[in-house]
Amino acid sequence: MSDPASLPPPEFEIAPLEFEHLDQIESIERRSYPLPWSRTMFAGELVKSSSISLGAFGQGRLIGYLIVSRYVDAWHVMNVAVDSAWRRQGVATQLLEELFVRTEGTAERGYTLEVRPSNPSAISLYEKLGFRARGVRRGYYLDDHEDALIMWKDADEV
Ligand SMILES: CC(C)(COP(=O)(O)OP(=O)(O)OC[C@H]1O[C@@H](n2cnc3c(N)ncnc32)[C@H](O)[C@@H]1OP(=O)(O)O)[C@@H](O)C(=O)NCCC(=O)NCCS
């Protein structure tokens, strides 16, 4: 039997999301969040010129996505999710790394996001990529009024 450590990393590629991916986005979204975004919210982001919407594609299908919006002088990470079968294989990391490349020189104040304190996997992902907690938004989440941790990554750390 081959040693798992010697197996090549799983192959996937990053490309812009299109309307044709909405069914697959919805399917991942519903399985990823207690309060999923609606199809209309995703469609709205896809047409916004101030948003960047990236998909990760493996074995011919969507396996993860990242939605980011431009707010004045910073990029706001709005949504990132990965199909459960593909988690812990670097997909979210690659999506965010691709964002940093695509926005190089345009992130004056850097990158920001909100995350649930009860989501240590996501917090660990963001910390690995240079985000740091810089505040709390009280009762931010509509379903259970959990606070949100506000994280920032400076542009010069890219
Ligand atoms: C959070 C999420 C996007 C991470 O996606 P992913 O592709 O599995 O992440 P990566 O493989 O790039 O992981 C990078 C790092 O994040 C951390 N991490 C990711 N998943 C983790 C887990 N289940 N437990 C602990 N740490 C985890 C680790 O530090 C990991 O590095 P390592 O594997 O070298 O230890 C994914 O778990 C997900 O879709 N969750 C549901 C939706 C969600 O919570 N989105 C974030 C909302 S703010």
Q: Over 93-149, what HEC string results?
A: HHHHHHHHHHCCCCCCCCEEEEECCCCHHHHHHHHHCCCEEEEEECCCCCCCCCCEE
Query: How large is the average pLDDT for residues 14-26?
Result: 98
Assess contact for 119 and 81: CB atoms under 8 A: no
Please indicate whether residue 70, judged by its CB atom, sits closer than 6 Å to ligand 1: no
**What was the pLDDT predicted at 4?**
58
Q: Provide CB contacts within 8 A for 14, sequence distance 6+.
A: 54, 55, 56, 57, 94, 95, 98
Q: How confident is the model at residue 6 (pLDDT cuts 50, 70, 90)?
A: low
Q: Whose CA is nearest to atom 40 of ligand 1?
A: 81
Q: Whose CA is nearest to atom 17 of ligand 1?
A: 125
4-157, superfamily in CATH? Gcn5-related N-acetyltransferase (GNAT) (3.40.630.30)
**What was the pLDDT predicted at 77?**
98
Give residue limits of the domains in the chain: 4-157
**What was the pLDDT predicted at 3?**
61
Q: Which region holds residue 66: left if phi is over 0, alpha if psi is between -120 and 50, else beta?
A: beta
The pLDDT tens digits of the residues spanning 33-69 come to 989 999 999 999 999 999 999 999 999 999 999 999 9
Please indicate whether residue 39, judged by its CB atom, sits closer than 6 Å to ligand 1: no
Please indicate whether residue 78, judged by its CB atom, sits closer than 6 Å to ligand 1: no
| Closest atom of ligand 1 relative to the 115 alpha carbon | 48
Query: How large is the average pLDDT for residues 108-112?
Result: 94
**What was the pLDDT predicted at 107?**
84
